Structure 1
Amino acid sequence: MNYFPADIVVAPILVPLIAGAILLFIDERKRNTKAVVSVIATFVSLAVAIGLFLEVNSTVNTEVAAVISNGVYLLGNWPAPFGIVLVADRLSGLMVLLAALLAIPSLIYSLAKWHKAGSHFHSLFHLMLMGVNGAFLTGDLFNLFVFFEVMLAASYGLLLHGSGQLRVKAGLHYIAINLVAALFFLIGVSLIYGVTGTLNMGDLAQRIAGLNPDQRMLLETGAAVLGVAFLVKAGMWPLNFWLPSAYSAASAPVAAIFAIMSKVGIYVIARLSFLLFGETAGASAGFGHDALLVGGIATIVFGTIGVLASQALGRLAGFSVLVSSGTLLAAMGTGNPTVAAGALYYLVSSTLTISAFFLLIELVERGQDAGANVLAVTMEAYGDGDEDEAEDEVGVTMPGTMAVLGVCFAACGILLAGLPPLSGFIAKFSMLSAILNPSGLGANDTISTLSWWLVFLIVFSGLASLISMTRAGIRTFWGSLEGTVPRVLVIEIAPILLLLGMTLAMTIAAGPIMRYMQETARIGGLPESYIQGVITAPRVDRGSEAAP
């Protein structure tokens, strides 16, 4: 039998914590030293994430419900539900790996100039990673609050990194909104604890079925209030007005790593929805699914309108985050594990794409004149008086730098729109197939009206992304406006190529990856495996460890 190396479960939290602490004690004037330490720590985090991912994959028995007791880490060696636990399963292992894969390109890109734009960039970067990984791995709600606040506190500093009036304004809005979300978090957790007497997720899921009607009403109220806190972070309408401005105002590497932030909210909602309100929840089974479906559809509509209306590339990327979030929330709201499998594939693909797009935007805009987008819109409306001069430019060779940026831009457009043959198409096709064939039986399936709306909006949002990206690409690469060829360093373009290369790898290995997602979604729909694994996790016998 394959057992987890015990410390690998806590390592994704400890490595960035230790790295962030060490970096605080290195003088800010020693930029190169801080960069080397930061890069080494990030690659160690990636190695740990890969190891954890391989372990959770190898310990799953596909023939029966997976008992994940080998992936439960008892902090202080206190048994659940009395002590704090960390839980590593296929879903949390996938999310930790995704965070590490985003961290490498974002950090490398920042070494070109952004890590010098303010103090303590590297420490904040690693502390945010610690909070993100902790939120993915924690097994109790109180610890979730702690990691959530660590993540947010570090993100405040990262968003303000580089200064500037627009960045400060967006940062203040971001801080205020997230402080209110934290208040909702505490209120929801307090109601849940008052009813059940526990915050351990496994123990909580075990107790829900036995609640009386009055207790159940308070529990569901607490869960709804708690859900609001995470829906703010996930970007569900109407709680998402802050997101496009904040993400577009952030520096390029910060916006790239922020692509995982909205997915933290989506992960927590998915975890609590299927664990607490799954098959074992009695009368509360399926609680909140309809709200997620309707809210997700509304978010797609809002995000699609924003994508079509956006003239600035940063805001286009910000609204693309909302389209991605809305699609994932609506997919969870269907309650169909097959749809959830496609949604997991889409989560990884869209996160990598949006992260690459945020990095690419700075390089593309570096060669544009100030106000070029606004001037281009004016010219579209009233025409260009220099048409004769534009005709003389026909046949001019595009510089190599612009050609590379153009190919990357086109790849981002194809991925966001969900066109074949890349991973965005595979993800959307998988979700649409599952929505239109919910039971897998074919002709006898009954598809709800909301499901038809979801199908339409997934297709239409892709069309909107295609229109907006094509329009922006024409203005940027083939417009008649004067601009300069941007000076692009290898250390800046390489992270973008790496992220897009990951989406290409997802396309090539679509079969094995989709099977992994399907198994992950199937096990996620079996809350008893999680409950059993946490409650029965054995304490470590320190005496036997010390014995020869």
Structure 2
Amino acid sequence: MTLAWTQHLVVVPVLLPLLCGALLAPLTQGRHHLKFALAYGSVLALLANALALVWLADGGGPGFTGNIGVYFAANWAAPFGITLVADRLSSMMLVLTALMALAALHYAQPRWSRIGVHFHSLFQFLLMGINGAFLTHDLFNLFVFFEVMLAASYGLLLHGYNVARLRASMQYIVVNLAASLLFLIGVAMIYATTGTLNMADLAGRVPALVDPEAGLLKAGVAVLALAFLVKGAMWPLGFWLPTTYAAASPPVAVMLVLMTKVGAYVLLRIWLLVFPQGTEAGFEDTLRFGYDALLWGGMATIVFGAAGMLATDTAGRMAGYAAIVSSGTLLAVIGYGQPLLVTAGLYYFVASTLAVAAFVLLIELIDRIRTPGAAMLALTMEAFAVEDLPAEPKGKGLPAAMAFLSLAFAACALTIAGLPPLSGFVAKFGMFHALLNPGPGMPAIDGTGWGLMALVFVSGLVTIVSLMRFGVRTFWAAEIMGPPRLHAAEAMPVAGLLLVSVLLTIQAQPVFDYLARASADIHRPGLYIDRVRGTPSVPAPTHTAEAP
């Protein structure tokens, strides 16, 4: 048996940013163009590699038996070695990560990446941690990649620090250190119960557990889930997120949007693998563990995020609450337990991530036209109901930059709120269709399903009211407005993310088909168990002795 060359592509998303980050670390402050070229080239290579993995996983290419690519680091077979697994879902997440990283780097190039010496190296280490979290199939190595990701994010969040950013960073660090402690405790309890941390091996051993081992496993998984729910911003654990989003620099906030979704991704992966939604004789309670908590917790998170959007006037905090609504929707989708709904939820995952990322980049550009006097005037007119009488037209059209900002804001608002015609509407329509038409063998929609549908619908209305209120104050009510100064490198990432959102809308059918295949894969845990545990290590080459 030999290892197909395509299987080595599975480890590239981890090794490439690690090597690039180490290469960038000793470079001095003045070599901005060289550092940007190396970092940008690394991310472009990651995007090409991720697209290749999508093609291999979806087509069952060489080394991807059952549409799953398995890579054993140091050639130690599961469950003893470090196992990386690339399937349709993880490959899609790698593509999304590379797109977000390209947008963040492009935006940071004129200004933000020049403030500190180690921005680019920390950014590469952050990508290493995120990619590793998407690919790893082992809980302990998931902890390692999480810590790499968090350690890099600590430095990036403090990048270009001011008082508000320093205060938010301290809160962010303390919360995530507490989550890391919970992560370790949960991992220790799971290992003490099952004797393994490999996800496929763990999934194969869970059905055989009986009390008290099954109870200890549930307690360990619950503690582990708390760490992911802190990162995924479930209510009441997501109190830190709006402040952090508002304080972070725009390119770092883009990656924080993605990092928030890592928690939801890991929960989706672990729950559907270790606690599948089918039933087996004698183990129904164990296999259905935790779904109701995810469903009701997600619904409470939607309510909290929507209320936060109505209560705030700050654009950065508004973006944070929009991300909380998105995370709550994803957690509720996981907890509802329906394959067709998971398919629509994955589409919503991608669409909402792109839209919120474009919005956090747009906020800084919009702030350049909102002088303090303009903001105060807009709030005063609204508070005292000052009549805005129509003025005589002055015959001066909007500058191109102003038109770009207003159109980009409208596109972000429509997508985040889930209104037609962009991808946010397609995602919510898909979720409503899945709830009303659950498919063969699935129960019809019940009161909980109607409640989830109502929450998703109402949260969209609340979101559009909040964002339009901000838009009216910014683009219409403010009379003191400076000419916007936009750099092409700052406008292009916003336009690029929104263009991808438009392409998602135009190509909704093939994207949904791909995500349906990804959802079908993760709902068949036996496929992963057989593929990971059944893959042998590569035997050492044999040498024949020469005749004397």
Which 10-residue stretch deviates more, 199-208 or 110-119?
110-119
Residue matched to 1:93: 91
Deviations 1:263-293 (A, max 9, x none): 1101100001000000377331121110000
Residue matched to 1:489: 487
> What one-letter code is carried by the residue in structure 1 that aligns with 2:128?
M
In the alignment, is the contact (CA less than 8 A) between 1:69 and 1:532 conserved in 2?
Answer: no
Q: Distance in 2 between matches of 1:209 and 1:365?
A: 55
> What one-letter code is carried by the residue in structure 2 that aligns with 1:41?
S
In the alignment, is the contact (CA less than 8 A) between 1:38 and 1:122 conserved in 2?
Answer: yes
Residue matched to 1:9: 10
- Cα gap change, 1:398 to 1:292, in 2 (>3 Å): same
- Cα gap change, 1:168 to 1:511, in 2 (>3 Å): same
State the shift of 1:383 in Å: 3.3
Residue matched to 2:157: 159
Given candidates 362, 386, 395, the residue that maps to 2:364 is 362
1:422 aligns with 2:422: yes
Residue matched to 1:501: 499
Residue matched to 1:527: 525
State the shift of 1:45 in Å: 1.2
Deviations 1:115-172 (A, max 9, x none): 0122300011110000000000001000000000000000011111111000000000
SS in 1 for 2:74: helix
- Cα gap change, 1:350 to 1:251, in 2 (>3 Å): same
Deviations 1:360-393 (A, max 9, x none): 11101111112644542232011348x56x6245
The count of residues paired between Structure 1 and Structure 2 equals 537
State the shift of 1:70 in Å: 5.7
Deviations 1:436-484 (A, max 9, x none): 2224589xx5422221111011111111111112111111111243020
Given candidates 202, 223, 233, the residue that maps to 2:200 is 202
> What one-letter code is carried by the residue in structure 1 that aligns with 2:429?
F
SS in 2 for 1:447: coil
RMSD: 2.0
In the alignment, is the contact (CA less than 8 A) between 1:230 and 1:269 conserved in 2?
Answer: yes
Q: Distance in 1 between matches of 2:161 and 2:234?
A: 28
Which 10-residue stretch deviates more, 306-315 or 341-350?
306-315
Map 1:244-255 to 2 at 5 A.
Answer: 244-255=242-253
> What one-letter code is carried by the residue in structure 2 that aligns with 1:8?
L
- Cα gap change, 1:350 to 1:519, in 2 (>3 Å): same
> What one-letter code is carried by the residue in structure 2 that aligns with 1:140?
D
Residue matched to 1:235: 233
State the shift of 1:394 in Å: 6.5
SS in 2 for 1:333: helix
State the shift of 1:397 in Å: 2.1
Q: Distance in 2 between matches of 1:318 and 1:352?
A: 14
In the alignment, is the contact (CA less than 8 A) between 1:317 and 1:358 conserved in 2?
Answer: yes
Q: Distance in 2 between matches of 1:356 and 1:427?
A: 17
- Cα gap change, 1:394 to 1:466, in 2 (>3 Å): farther
TM-score where L is the length of structure 1: 0.94
In the alignment, is the contact (CA less than 8 A) between 2:133 and 2:146 conserved in 1?
Answer: yes
- Cα gap change, 1:522 to 1:70, in 2 (>3 Å): closer
Q: Distance in 2 between matches of 1:545 and 1:363?
A: 65
Residue matched to 1:18: 19
Given candidates 307, 310, 313, the residue that maps to 1:308 is 310
State the shift of 1:58 in Å: 1.2
> What one-letter code is carried by the residue in structure 2 that aligns with 1:125?
F
SS in 2 for 1:72: strand
Q: Distance in 1 between matches of 2:465 and 2:291?
A: 32
1:191 aligns with 2:192: no
Map 1:75-474 to 2 at 5 A.
Answer: 75-278=73-276, 279=278, 282-283=283-284, 284-370=286-372, 372-373=374-375, 375-384=377-386, 387=388, 391-392=391-392, 396-440=396-440, 446-474=444-472
Deviations 1:48-82 (A, max 9, x none): 11111211111189xxxx95486110111011111
In the alignment, is the contact (CA less than 8 A) between 2:84 and 2:135 conserved in 1?
Answer: yes
State the shift of 1:101 in Å: 1.0
In the alignment, is the contact (CA less than 8 A) between 1:4 and 1:71 conserved in 2?
Answer: no
SS in 2 for 1:504: helix
Residue matched to 1:50: 51
Q: Distance in 2 between matches of 1:440 and 1:68?
A: 24
Q: Distance in 1 between matches of 2:25 and 2:216?
A: 44
Give the share of equivalent positions with the same residue, in percent: 47
SS in 2 for 1:163: coil
> What one-letter code is carried by the residue in structure 2 that aligns with 1:9?
V
Q: Distance in 1 between matches of 2:516 and 2:45?
A: 29
SS in 2 for 1:87: strand
Q: Distance in 2 between matches of 1:500 and 1:224?
A: 37
Structure 2, gaps ≥5 residues long: none
> What one-letter code is carried by the residue in structure 2 that aligns with 1:537?
T
1:30 aligns with 2:31: yes
In the alignment, is the contact (CA less than 8 A) between 1:23 and 1:34 conserved in 2?
Answer: yes
Deviations 1:7-63 (A, max 9, x none): 1000000111011000002112212211111111111111111111211111189xx
- Cα gap change, 1:31 to 1:340, in 2 (>3 Å): same
Structure 1, gaps ≥5 residues long: none
Q: Distance in 2 between matches of 1:154 and 1:313?
A: 25
> What one-letter code is carried by the residue in structure 2 that aligns with 1:474?
V
- Cα gap change, 1:263 to 1:529, in 2 (>3 Å): same
Q: Distance in 1 between matches of 2:117 and 2:86?
A: 34
SS in 2 for 1:259: helix
SS in 2 for 1:347: helix
- Cα gap change, 1:373 to 1:457, in 2 (>3 Å): farther
Deviations 1:295-346 (A, max 9, x none): 0000000000111122111111110000100000001111100000000000
> What one-letter code is carried by the residue in structure 1 that aligns with 2:433?
S
> What one-letter code is carried by the residue in structure 1 that aligns with 2:28?
D
In the alignment, is the contact (CA less than 8 A) between 1:108 and 1:495 conserved in 2?
Answer: yes
In the alignment, is the contact (CA less than 8 A) between 2:374 and 2:478 conserved in 1?
Answer: no
TM-score where L is the length of structure 2: 0.94
In the alignment, is the contact (CA less than 8 A) between 1:205 and 1:280 conserved in 2?
Answer: no
SS in 2 for 1:260: helix
State the shift of 1:513 in Å: 0.4
Q: Distance in 2 between matches of 1:510 and 1:77?
A: 40
